[in-house]
Chains A and B, each alone.
Chain A
Amino acid sequence: MMDTSNVPTGPRENPELEEISPPMTVVGPVAWLRANLFSSPFNTLLTILAVLFLAWVVPPFIRWAFIDATWTFPQEVIEGVRGPNRGDCTASGACWIFIQARIGQFLFGFYPADERWRVVLVFILTFGAVTGMLIERIPFKKQNAIFLFLILPILSFWLLLGGLGLEVVSTRLWGGFMLTLVIACVGIVLALPLGILLALGRRSDLPVVHLLSVMLIEFVRGVPLITVLFMANVMLPLFLPPGTTIDPLLRILVGFTVFTAAYLAEVVRGGLQAIGRGQYEGAASLGLGYWSMMRLIILPQALRISIPAIVNTINGAFMDTTLVAVVGLYDFLNIVRTGSRDANWIGTEIDGFVFCAAIYWICCYGMSRYSISLERKLDTGHKKR
């Protein structure tokens, strides 16, 4: 006869049953290892290969970059008897005194040493204002935005370029990390709105607007950035009345901005396509006009979807600033490479590259982390209709 004593007949009334913690095979470090690293023979193989690879690469790098590296100048250099050179790096590892000796140039290019405080001031103001915008808890967002987008550009322009009581510093002297940041910030800040307009233009019903947007986007995307930069450098002056000269940096900024905008336009267009017709109809049925509809309903959603791709494009654009070297500008990478070609520092290319890579990585990783947190914050967690 069947034992029915264990078969529940009515509502279960033992509350303890619901509070049992899961077995050790489900939670805990061992379970985690099993689930994530050794879940199948193939996964186990990958885990072992990855561990071997790390063991092969990481310890030598740490030895080179930290343990065997030269961090300090020799006594004579500190006392000012002579300048430092590659020969002072006697250890087998990295030669970090190369970076220390040249750091001013790497950061500011040929910007006069006595005027570098202006660059530092611009950097601090920008960094402060951007941080204020990005971190949600900090108040005064509106005032901050006005400062960041209206006052700061004018102030920075004056501080960096000079005039009105400050010594004029020609853009030919700008260089290093400062130049990289100027090109990246100006380019990206201008390219984003331009890219959004191009994306809207490409989806426009107005044939002229549509055609112009498509032509610009497809032309710029069909050409390498180097070509755009060369063209901006050489051809832009041809379109202007003879006799007018434009600052070489300005030409590059125009080319860089248009190039980045074309790519952002396609990214934003992708986001716009993901917004269903219902959103347009919902907004239209309330009497919203085209621009209000775009600004309040469509773009906030389209841009949120596009955040990963936008940040990807911006990251790429930040890296692409190194290409301005081909038209003779000394951006961060170019000036570090030039530094290691100095007769005193022959043999420091790798040290220079590693230093550059570390700085670029910090910047880009920071951007990508912020974009992830932004995505989480803006995620109202729900599918669109």
Chain B
Amino acid sequence: MSASATAQALPTEVQSTDVMISMTDVHKWYGQFHVLKNINLSVHKGERIVVCGPSGSGKSTMIRCVNRLEEHQRGKIAVDGIELTRDLKNIELVRREVGMVFQHFNLFPHLTVLENLTLAPVWVRKLPKKEAEDAAMHYLDRVRIPEQASKYPGQLSGGQQQRVAIARSLCMNPKVMLFDEPTSALDPEMIKEVLDVMIELARSGMTMICVTHEMGFARTVANRVLFMDRGEIIEQNEPEAFFNNPQSERTKLFLSQILHH
């Protein structure tokens, strides 16, 4: 796939034993519908996890629970030692440390790219404006669009917008990055530029959870690939083993559908 051409696979062994995210016996219901069933997952510092599975399997819901855009109703989620409860203080603390990239970018259309990037550092981290702008330009450089700083999001292509969104999250110096199908809304020719940025981010040692259908990216970047179906984690393994030797029937079926279409 597009990503594999650009990068050699990153090492799959994780250096750190610090647990960054831990989910224990997490359940969630939408009304009567059981969307997440007994999710147990711990993500170590520097680990890169790719979550895949058919649509409606609860992948997005699971990572949205990590920064509590969705509320879980049973079990325990802790991020960097802070447990997510109803306590708004904790929720905001966790959100500062967890960056999120959305399928539809969710940039702020009334602000310029630079303002999008400096908003949270200035208002949440209370950074001086100048410092925030310097950091913003640094990250815009990293996602390779420093020349777009003064434009509005609506003037950029989808790929550029998504790279701005990644830079916006990075400006908060997060400890974890969550990616919720970051390339699904993009035109095919723009997918690569976004994946390249994500690969580079992975190289820098960022802890990442990515919900994506880009299997090439998963092979290149992931330490671990998770397969979810009907709200459960069915199978998880290192990418090589996951793709070459899937264990469950559902995983085999899913892989055969997405790899040979």
Contacts and interface: CB of A to CB of B under 8 A. Distances in A.
Contact of B154 (A286, A304, A382): A382
A286 B102 contact: no
Interface string B98-121: 111010111111100000000110
* Interface secondary structure of A, over-half rule: helix
Interface in B37-88: 67, 69, 88
B95 interface: yes
20 contacts: A278-B102, A278-B104, A285-B98, A285-B169, A286-B95, A287-B120, A288-B124, A292-B124, A296-B119, A301-B109, A301-B110, A378-B110, A380-B109, A382-B109, A382-B153, A384-B109, A385-B104, A385-B105, A385-B107, A385-B109
B104 A289 contact: no
Given A281-B69, A385-B104, A289 B110 contact: no
A381 interface: yes
Nearest to A285: B100
B99 A285 contact: yes
A304 B109 CA distance: 12
Nearest to B106: A282
* Interface secondary structure of B, over-half rule: mixed
Interface residues on A, range: 20 to 34
Given A287-B95, A288-B124, A281 B110 contact: no
A382 B80 CA distance: 38
Nearest to A304: B110
B69 A284 contact: yes
Interface in A256-290: 278-279, 281-289
B97 to A, nearest CB: 8
Given A278-B102, A279-B106, A287 B155 contact: no
A287 B109 contact: no
A300 interface: yes
Nearest to B100: A285
A285 B105 CA distance: 12
A37 interface: no
Given A304-B110, A384-B109, 14 more contacts: A278-B102, A283-B108, A285-B106, A286-B119, A286-B124, A286-B172, A287-B124, A288-B123, A289-B92, A292-B123, A296-B119, A296-B123, A380-B109, A385-B107
A287 B79 CA distance: 14
Contacts of A137: none
Contacts of B108: 279, 282-283, 297, 301
A380 B152 CA distance: 7
A142 interface: no
10 tightest Cβ-Cβ pairs between the two chains A and B: A382-B154, A282-B106, A286-B120, A287-B96, A285-B100, A278-B106, A287-B95, A380-B152, A287-B124, A385-B104
